[in-house]
Amino acid sequence: MARTRSGLYVRYRVLRRRAWRWLDRHPRVDAVLRSSGALSTRDGAIPRGVAVGLFVALMPFFGIQTLIVIAGCILVRGNFPAGLVTSWINNPFTVAPLYLTYNAIGDYLFSPIFGPAVDLSGLEREVALEAMYLGAGALCVAAPAATLGYFLTAVAERRLRSRRTTRRQA
């Protein structure tokens, strides 16, 4: 067990060193991320990053989610690495089941609202309705998941920080 932990920690240190070197080679990106607080670990930045990552991962933004996570983390001063890792929930293997579920949720909850509101006919109507069901269903899943992720991460962060302070005091 100790070997696994130390091996993972060594791997983590190597990846962290690579990330810092990359930021050293790109000073403008480094300046933007540091000034916006997107690399901060203070004052709840990690829970905000997790919330942004979950929200973006569970919305139908597949393909551009990294850019949206960067923008969202800069906007809410969330931790970008936490948001990026969390956004990997949505990947090529999970995208089809997630989108089918969102469509079913949107159809079930919003068909009485969206159905009469669309004044198109034929294929255009079906495409518009399916897109609206997909977006509404994704929003119904993403918003609560991001909120729950924020609060669970905040509690975990608080417990971890209190353990660290008790260990330092001992």
Domain shared by 82 and 131, yes or no:
yes
Q: Output the pTM of the full model.
A: 0.77
38 near 137, Cβ under 8 Å?
Answer: no
Distance CA 23, CA 21 (A): 5
3-state secondary structure 138-160: HHHHHHHHHHHHHHHHHHHHHHH
The band of 1, judged by pLDDT with boundaries at 50, 70 and 90, is very low
For residue range 37-60, list pLDDT tens digits in order. Answer: 777 777 788 999 999 999 999 998
Domain shared by 91 and 128, yes or no:
yes
Closest listed residue to residue 76, CA positions, set 28, 109, 43, 119: 43
Domain shared by 125 and 76, yes or no:
yes
62 near 168, Cβ under 8 Å?
Answer: no
Domain shared by 89 and 105, yes or no:
yes
Domain shared by 65 and 139, yes or no:
yes
The total number of structural domains in the chain stands at 2
Distance CA 142, CA 124 (A): 27
Domain shared by 52 and 135, yes or no:
yes
Note down the domain range covering 20: 1-36
Closest listed residue to residue 142, CA positions, set 105, 92, 91: 105
Domain shared by 95 and 150, yes or no:
yes
Domain shared by 157 and 101, yes or no:
yes
Distances (CA, A) of 98 to 57, 72, 94, 134, 137: 10, 22, 6, 10, 10
Distances (CA, A) of 36 to 40, 150, 151, 153, 166: 9, 19, 22, 21, 31
Supply the DSSP string of 18-87, one letter for each residue: HHHHHHHH-HHHHHHHHHHTTT--STTHHHHHHHHHHHHHTSS-TTSHHHHHHHHHHHHT--HHHHHHHG
Domain shared by 19 and 68, yes or no:
no
Domain shared by 154 and 81, yes or no:
yes
The winner for highest mean pLDDT among 14-18, 28-32, 57-61 is: 57-61
Mean pLDDT of 27-34: 82
Domain shared by 97 and 155, yes or no:
yes
Domain shared by 45 and 92, yes or no:
yes
